[in-house]
Structure 1
Amino acid sequence: QEEILSCCHEGYRLGFRTFVLQGGEAPAVKDEGMVETVAAIRQSFPDCAITLSLGEKSREAYERFFLAGANRYLLRHEICNEGHYHRLHPAEMSLSHRLQCLDWLKEIGYQVGTGIMVGSPYQTVDHLVEDILFIERFQPEMIGMGPFLPHHDTPFASFPPGDMELTLKLLSIFRLMHPAALIPATTALATLAPDGRERGILAGANVVMPNLSPSHQRTKYSLYDNKASAGAEAAEGLQKLEEQLKGIGYEVSKERGDYENGELTVDN
């Protein structure tokens, strides 16, 4: 908790007003400890938004995080097709439970984010159409998407990465369908191509997420090979990020940005 708060203090000093705590479904991350951490961040930074991305939890856990001060929750549904879902996930996981978690989050009052991975193994165009239709029905406040990138220690190490052009096309489709949604230009895009982040912004993304994690911790969160985690991807490269986005005609707003009644609001 102390290290997380230290990162938040540094981010606040740099002007950030939204913090994202992303940790997956690690058994070591206990719900009680996360409740305490969220409460400590909320107490220290009452004017900031707190976003969690911790995977599938019980409804009770989601409620406790929300009451402690979390505002948003990112949980990509990943795959809407039952058959495709089971080809990529452990047998003990189920698509129905994933979708139930998303419903719980919305009912509790979170600004909810879901999304997909483009070019995942065995994915077809029909699968992507199912995903588009689900997101249209669900109406999330945030849509996270990026290309599949293989990791050498997984069963999918030999599969090719997702296609950049298809990812950008889908990003544009989601922007047209959901004009006010928070849609990040992901690190995966920047990993796939040096100008991936900028191309994502030009295609319709409106969020970038510099990494506040201490450099010695970043290697512990290796989702795919050759992940971009330095330079403009890191908080210490914020000036470089601002220069790159200025080069395509954009300025960085460090305000929290909330989705309210179908409109994206930015406090000044």
Structure 2
Amino acid sequence: MKALDDLLTQETFSDADIVRLLGLTDPADCKRLRRAAYDLTTRLIGDLVHYRGIIEFSNRCTLNCRYCGIRRDNRDLERYDLSREEIIESAIWAAENHYGSVCLQAGERRDEPFIALVEDCIREIRARTVSDTLPEGASITLSLGEQSPETYRRWREAGGKTECMRYLLRMETSNPELFAWLHPDGFAHEKAYESRIQALADLRAAGFQVGTGGMIGLPGQTLADLCADIRFYQRLDADMLGMGPYILSGGGDLLDAGMMESGPLLQLALNMLAVCRLVLRDVNIAAATALQALAEDGREQGIAHGCNIIMPNITPRPVRKRYQLYDNKPCIDEEPTDCRACLEGRIQRMGRRVGWNQWGCSRHFRRRMNLPVEILPLGEPPMRAGSIAVPFVSWRGDAVRTGSRED
């Protein structure tokens, strides 16, 4: 068997290589994987971590995904919708606080009032976030599920400049049987495996930077399934990834299926992030907030394993508790200002800097579109607000077994 240090220096990987890296459990081996992913990120992308201020503007959803806390049939959930003004004001707050980008997220809907609201908000956010520090306004990521090609086109065009518009549409799992198990037959016509793949193709055709990702540690999921997910991201030629550990939701329909223990689940998720960095190389990878539900410093550990995107929650505090896709979601009692001050210090302790007032476009996207790729020299501070030193919980190098299920 090839030595691990030799394997980690490769630029191409077989399926067997990927499965081996995903299954690492020895603390020393996991540390080598972490360092390889971190160093590759520094070399290819730089030392900047970019913010996407996430605005969860509605928890109404027409779908009934079994894992999700805001699914249609969760009758115990109090529903809400932010107004147009609240959405735009949240985005303006982000821009005024030097976030270069925001993310609009909500439950899946396809009615015309919803589509028109999003279109209007995109246009207004792009216009009203223009400033001396953001001369072209904030960039926007949408995470609003499957829509028609015409809707994708409307939303993309409302944003203006191509480089500023992104869309995150998680595949959830590339295993068709597991995908079908997560989605009841009652609405298969709305979210079938084939329609998900078609939607990703429609997003590419509409001109978005396309992001996808999956859940890590699903009941019945194997390391081979996770390897297949990585191969799916390769075939899609994804520009960015949003992945996270699978965490139970009390409002979901999978309580009897259980979930992995938090320690093994965290290590498996971190392995997946690191391996995606090694295999996919120059894509943007987000450190999911769900990592912090498993460990206080979960998002920082994500950065240590190759992530270069953080998504601080800037949803108005009164409604945050009602947008819980999974249990124990962190930061639901904080104000946007609390998250901003906390995160910068933690990121700096990881040897990274925040890319204030920058869109943080995927280098993979820019290369794919033949656009210039600009990276600030390491250590050169970008234009930003003053930093705040805060206590930091350091990354723990002790690894645990993955506990992955095998058929």
- Interval of TM-score (by shorter of Structure 1 and Structure 2): over 0.9
Tell me what 1:16 maps to. Answer: 99
Alignment of 1:1-268 (within 5 A): 1-26=84-109, 30-45=114-129, 46-69=136-159, 71-91=165-185, 92=188, 93-158=191-256, 159-161=258-260, 163-230=265-332, 234-254=336-356, 255-259=358-362, 260-261=366-367, 265=374
Question: Of the two, which has the highest radius of gyration?
Answer: 2
For each residue in 1:140-175, what CA deviation from the matched residue of structure 2 results, as whole angstroms up to 9, or x when unmatched?
Answer: 111111100101121112411471111111101111
Does the Cα contact within 8 Å between 2:106 and 2:143 map onto a contact in 1?
Answer: yes
Is the 8 Å Cα contact of residues 257 and 264 (structure 1) preserved in structure 2?
Answer: no
C-alpha distance in 1 between matches for 2:226 and 2:268: 11
User: How large is the RMSD of aligned CA atoms in angstroms?
Assistant: 2.0
Greater relative contact order (CA < 8 Å, ≥ 6 in sequence): 2
> Following the alignment from structure 1 to structure 2, what is the Cα–Cα distance between the partners of residues 77 and 62?
17
Instruction: Give the counterpart letter for 1:77 in structure 2.
Output: M
The one-letter amino acid of 1:78's match is E
Aligned equivalents of 2:267 and 2:333: distance in 1? 24
Using the alignment, how far apart are the partners of 2:168 and 2:319 within structure 1? 21
What's the TM-score, normalizing by structure 1?
0.93
Contact 2:213 2:242 in 1 (8 A): yes
CA contact (8 A) 1:77 1:114 kept: yes
Structure 1: distance between partners of 2:233 and 2:202 = 16
Cα distance, 1:14 vs structure 2: 0.9
Structure 2 gaps of 5+ residues are: 1-83, 130-135, 377-381, 383-407
Does structure 2 retain, via aligned residues, the 8 Å contact 1:258–1:264?
A: no
Displacement, 1:179? Answer: 2.2
State the SS of the aligned residue for 1:122.
coil
Q: Which runs of 5+ in 1 are unaligned?
A: none
